[in-house]
Chain A
Amino acid sequence: MSYFVVSDNCNGCLSCVENCPANALSYEDADGKRTILHNMARCVRCANCWRVCPQEAIQFQHFLENRWDAVIQLGLVYCSVCGEPLYTAAQEKTLSGNMGRPLEHLCPKHKSADFAARQALFLKKKQSNRETQHDRR
């Protein structure tokens, strides 16, 4: 859908084309028809066309619509414990490539819980090793 919308009031007078400071409006006369053309990349959204249109045909509100256009869709990776979205699969590929190892699919909360559990296990093992050595003596 074009952001540059005109109503049926437009009579093709070319006031908008002539007065666009950014050369973002043009027209084509072909096959018995006049086509008004708009180039969004050039448009500054200065509203000059809207101001000068003698027919009040330019519906500038469409330039001001709070509309989101989908740009791209990417697969997500989720926390293996709680299911919270972590990052995209493509991002994971970049990160694990940079780090030289596969990533654990854990959110910060479960990563710290996992770390604490592992640390507790490590300390427990260390303690039991000490006790074993003590018993041997």
Chain B
Amino acid sequence: MIVAELKPIDEIAESISHFKKVAIVACGGCVSICLTGGANNADALARELAHPRHYQSLPPVFDTTTIQRQCEKDFVNAFLNIPPDADAILSLACGAGVQTVAEAMETLPVIPALNTSFLGSLDAPGIWREKCQGCGNCLLAFTGGICPVSRCAKHLLNGPCGGSKNGKCEIGEDTDCAWQLIIDRLKVLGRLDEYEKLFPLKDWSTDRGKGPRVQGVDRTKT
């Protein structure tokens, strides 16, 4: 799922300080699950941002609402209710959600309250870790289900760099060496011979080499 974190409060306060009424829009999708963009977070953020200490003049008035998914334009158009007197939207969604709301609400500025971090999964309660970069050319079938593109700091495709120590990456003790994980996993699976296979140069054009990627056919344009 998409993981995001709250921007620093000062940065958010600065970006909304010149508005009178701000609609804080929570998202009921991925960012709810990673405890940064849900209804509860919107309420907490509204309470925090209403404090005068963040502003040189009067703080804006806040209204909070939640929409189940901010990343679907027709859904947003149909179900997102913004108070008519709101002069800005503060979105607690990932970047895709913020842009979708901005497209749907053409006349209102939409400001992000989150920094979209990565595609990841829950490793332990409260701990999300990056697992996928959406490179568009999945290699997991050959690496024991562990992604070297997103989990190796150097994105190496043909074994470790040699800098790891006790299974940890040389960039820091908190980071597992992805290739150590891959080798250990292949051993367990009895498929260590897969490690001997060389990957050809990766085709990065499926990543972002051709601009924003699209899936599906826009029948309105055919």
Listed in ascending order, the chain A residues whose CB lies under 8 Å from chain B are 20-23, 42, 44, 46, 48, 51-52
Contacts and interface: CB of A to CB of B under 8 A. Distances in A.
B32 A44 contact: yes
A80 B110 CA distance: 58
A44 B125 contact: no
A49 to B, nearest CB: 12
Contact of B32 (A46, A51, A52): A46
A22 B39 contact: yes
11 contacts: A21-B38, A21-B40, A21-B41, A22-B32, A22-B40, A23-B43, A23-B66, A44-B32, A48-B33, A48-B35, A52-B125
A42 B28 contact: yes
Contacts of B39: 21-23, 42
B59 interface: no
A22 B125 contact: no
Contacts of B29: 44
B33 A20 contact: no
B70 to A, nearest CB: 13
Contacts of A44: 28-29, 32-33, 38
B32 to A, nearest CB: 5
Contacts of A23: 38-40, 43, 66
Contacts of A51: 125
A50 to B, nearest CB: 10
B125 A21 contact: no
Nearest to A20: B40
Contacts of B40: 20-23
B33 A46 contact: yes
Contacts of B43: 23
Contacts of A22: 28, 32, 38-40, 66
Interface centre among A20, A23, A51 (most CB of B within 10 A): A23
B131 to A, nearest CB: 17
A51 B32 CA distance: 15
A42 B66 CA distance: 9
Interface in B14-38: 28-29, 32-33, 35, 38
A52 B126 CA distance: 11
Interface centre among A21, A44, A46, A52 (most CB of B within 10 A): A21
Given A44-B28, A51-B125, A21 B66 contact: no
